[in-house]
Amino acid sequence: MKRPGRAGTETQTSLAREVAHDLNNLLTAVIGAADAILTRPDIDPETRADVEAIREGACRGGALAQSLRGQETAAPDPVSVNATIRATSRLMAHQLGRRIALTLELGEPDCFVRTDPSRLDRVLLNLAANARQAMPDGGTVALRTGTRLVEAAERHVPDTIPPGDYAVISVADNGAGIPAGDLPRIFERGFTTRGGTGLGLPSVLAMVRQSNGHLAVETADGRGTSFEIYLPAVAASSLAAGPPVKTPGVAATGGTILVVEDDPLIRGMAERVLTRAGWCVVSADSAEAALALLDGPGGACGIVFSDLSLPGMDGVALARQVGARWPGLPFILTSGYEIAPPEAEGVRFLSKPYGQEALLAAVASGLKRSGQAG
């Protein structure tokens, strides 16, 4: 097969970024709608659980979009294995379908690893798809976590596990198992016995190794299959200050905010969130329309929230004009693209997809940075 040249590779990269941008826009609308439903006090528990699953799926989709545009973290912060597995298990249950039960057996105490959570999601979802194919008549998948000290190198298929302290994630099914003759080939690209693409397990192995991990398969024909993911555990001393904690968003209320967004779905979502938080919202679908509003009678506002990609003048040019003409006016840029946001005074960047909490926190932070918030 002829490999793509440099121009072809650049075209593929550009296309991936465009797809990621459009996906992030759609996910922003989904997350915003889910947040709006979850704030209603009268929704029943079953509906709440469904909407939380939708929101979690959209957030995970945003992480996948980041990796699509080449933004995986080179040296990620330690992540909780059990918390990551709990979140991903919802998507795995949907992937497995109604005929296959998913059970969780999470080891305690919890442990931490350095990996991109979206990469681990893809590993587990690929393994769920593989288990579903192995159990066409239904069955059970057990998702387990734990820790293990490997004192001497252990040979497995496909990897040899070197000595070390590991967090171990196991995905075990009670399906047909893998015939002994097929086992050495299941990680070959294109090899399949079930009519698929033959890319799932090779991708799993590649992603595990990208996380400095190792993979081991235990199987017997007719007695199911277990995939064990070994990831280097983060030493307890590295967590002396505690694992990274997500801080809740700060509610932002009062004043007038100008929302500049050409996508009506996202613009409407932002308007609703900010209005419920107590803001008077005015909106524009272009930078030129935004400048006209600011120039017009009653155009004074407390902060500007603008998309980067706009028809005509883009959000960066708008931020510069606003900074030159109204010095000190807080400005927030948002985008689904990978960009290096301007570091001008008063300009803050919010990456898409974002939810209600992130939007309000960004607004509060923008006001605090400009000295307008007490």
CATH of the domain at 110: 3.30.565.10
**Residue 260 sits in the same domain as residue 143:** no
Answer whether residue 363 is part of any domain: yes
Q: For residue 110, tell me if it sits in a domain.
A: yes
> 105 and 227 in one domain?
yes
- Residues 222, 263: one domain? no
Domains identified in the chain, total number: 2
CA–CA distance, 241 with 238 (Å, rounded to integer)? 8
The angle formed by the CA atoms of residues 12, 352 and 97, to the nearest 5 degrees, is: 80
Same domain? 134 vs 194: yes
Is there a single domain that holds both residue 224 and residue 266? Answer: no
pLDDT of 257 strictly over 90: yes
What proportion of the chain, given as a percentage, has pLDDT over 70? 77
Instruction: With H, G, I as helix, E, B as strand and everything else as coil, classify residue 333.
Output: strand
Q: Are residues 224 and 263 in the same domain?
A: no
User: 17: pLDDT confidence band, cut at 50, 70 and 90?
Assistant: low
User: Are 107 and 174 found together in one domain?
Assistant: yes
Encode pLDDT of 220-241 as tens digits. Answer: 877 899 999 999 998 766 665 4
C-alpha span between 197 and 20 (Å, rounded): 23
Tell me which of 239, 271, 301 is where a domain ends. 239
CATH code at position 288: 3.40.50.2300
Question: pTM of the entire structure?
Answer: 0.54
Instruction: Tell me if residue 338 falls in helix, strand or coil.
Output: coil
Does some domain include residue 348?
yes
pLDDT digits (tens, 9 = 90+) for 49-101: 888 778 777 776 776 666 555 544 444 668 889 988 888 888 888 889 889 99
By residue range, what is the domain housing residue 346? 256-370
Q: Which residues of 188-212 are buried (b: 16+ CB within 10 A; e: fewer)?
A: eeeebeeeeebebbbebbebbeebe
Higher confidence at residue 189 or residue 124?
124
Is the bond into 109 cis (omega within 30 degrees of 0)?
A: yes
247 assigned to some structural domain = no
Q: What pLDDT is attached to residue 107?
A: 92
